Amino acid sequence: MSWTDERVETLKRMWSEGQSASQIAKELGGVTRNAVIGKVHRLGLSNRSGAEGAPAETAAPAAPAQAAPPVEPPRPAPAEEEAAAPSPAAPAPSDAPEEAADPEIVEAAEEEEAEPAAATGVVPLRRTIVPAGQPLPPQPSANEISPETLASVREVEKKARKISLMELTERTCKWPIGDPATDDFWFCGLPAQAGKPYCEAHVGVAFQPMSSRRDRRR
DNA sequence: CCCTGATTCGC
DNA sequence: GCGAATCAGG
């Protein structure tokens, strides 16, 4: 891979947006974060000037509606409401952005769809929760979390690392604990299961195998 | 441990 | 110019 004009452009943009070198490298592909950092220095833009503002250091202590741990700048926000359009999932972009607008934005927007809770600031209420919204379709009645797993969860909550929003990574359990409207709020933070957003215990309550009732038929 | 960016230096 | 290895931190 070489530093084509386009790639350099992406690099510059992301760097000024505050993205980390590793994230940029991941986005570009074919390069390591070292390569990115090296290039950044050669380009003489090690000093992140250009788009200062608030790098997102402190995430509102008691303000729930704030959430953007890693980075999530690409948020154009349509700001247009369809009054007579009862059709939800209908992007219906009358004008396709054919021009090489920002192919990156699309990727950035669709990356990491696994942790809506933290991203939206809406904390899943235990019991009614359906984190990633995928598994457990055939739930008989109310999700009956087995008392064992429920107990283990409480156990885990005690041992949780109690990490903050900014400390969440792709390898930390993102299970929210406590009331986000108070200081009594934190994230589990225990090592998450490979590929999943939660630790073993929380994956257990989040993704029910749809048949964990004690009636082990057979 | 995980992760940052900064620097060096052979290529 | 490039980037792996290394360094220096959080």
Q: What are the tens digits of pLDDT across the range A51-106? A: 443 333 333 333 333 333 333 333 333 333 333 333 333 333 333 333 333 443 33
Q: What is the pTM of this model?
A: 0.39
Token duo for residue A153: 């969860």
From the CA of A169, how many Å to the C1' of C8?
22
**Phi, psi dihedral angles at A7 (to 5 degrees):** -65, -40
Q: What is the pLDDT of residue A195?
A: 66
Residues A19-28 have pLDDT tens digits of 889 889 988 9
* CB of A42 within 7 Å of some strand B atom: no
* CB of A146 within 7 Å of some strand B atom: no
Instruction: Assess whether pLDDT exceeds 60 at residue A194.
Output: yes
Instruction: Assess whether pLDDT exceeds 90 at residue A188.
Output: no
Residue type, A16: S
Residue numbers 12-51 of A with CB closer than 7 A to any atom of strand C: 31-32, 34-35, 37-39, 42
- Judge whether A198 and A115 are in contact, CB under 8 Å: no
Rounded mean pLDDT of chain A? 61
Interatomic CA distance for residues A188 and A156, integer angstroms: 8
Q: What are the residues whose beta carbons fall under 8 Å from the beta carbon of A162, sequence distance 6 or more?
A: A177, A186, A187, A189
Q: What is the pLDDT of residue A81?
A: 35
Q: Which residue is nearest to nucleotide B5 (CA to C1')?
A: A37
Q: What is the pLDDT of residue A215?
A: 52
